């Protein structure tokens, strides 16, 4: 009986992850953030299956920023999840409280995301 329950729990978990892989942001422990060539310390990088990026910094001045395909850059309305491990977006395109209209995503690859906001060049290195 215990094996059946465990199998059912694993099956439900696998189905949940497979249906929400574009909305599920997992921590990238090797990810880093640089602004104008200077590494920003204390930033956690989260990525999903499409290499969209969620940036979170807890220490002052703290921020949460999402960079998604289609030039969706800004601060998400809600960020539900397990801190330092995984977050789940509220929709395929995250609902933003404040959208950064000046931000232009120059490139998004499996290795890096390059964004320019006025004179500031932001590079997120992945994996």
The confidence score (pLDDT) of residue 104 equals 87
Give the model confidence (pLDDT) of 73-123 as tens digits: 999 988 888 888 999 888 888 888 888 888 889 999 889 999 998 889 999
Give the three-state DSSP class for 59: coil
Instruction: Please tell me which residue, 72 or 9, carries the higher pLDDT value.
Output: 9
Is residue 60 within 8 Å of 42, Cβ to Cβ?
A: no
Domain ranges in the chain are: 2-125
Alpha helix ranges (H) inside the chain: 2-19
The confidence score (pLDDT) of residue 50 equals 87
Under DSSP, the state recorded for 3 is: H
Measure the CA–CA gap between 24 and 85, rounded to whole angstroms: 11
Question: Cis peptide before 41, with omega less than 30 degrees from 0?
Answer: no
């Amino acid at each position: 009986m215990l094996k059946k329950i465990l199998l059912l729990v694993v099956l439900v978990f696998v189905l949940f992850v497979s249906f929400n892989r574009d909305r599920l942001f997992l921590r990238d422990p090797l990810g880093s953030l640089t602004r104008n060539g200077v590494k920003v310390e204390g930033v956690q990088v989260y990525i999903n299956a499409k290499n969209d990026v969620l940036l979170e910094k807890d220490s002052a001045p703290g921020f949460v920023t999402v960079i998604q395909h289609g030039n969706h850059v800004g601060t998400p309305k809600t960020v539900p999840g397990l801190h330092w491990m995984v977050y789940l977006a509220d929709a395929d395109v995250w609902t933003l409280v404040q959208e950064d209209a000046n931000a232009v995503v120059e490139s998004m690859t499996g290795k890096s995301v390059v964004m320019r906001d006025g004179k500031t060049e932001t590079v997120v290195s992945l994996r």
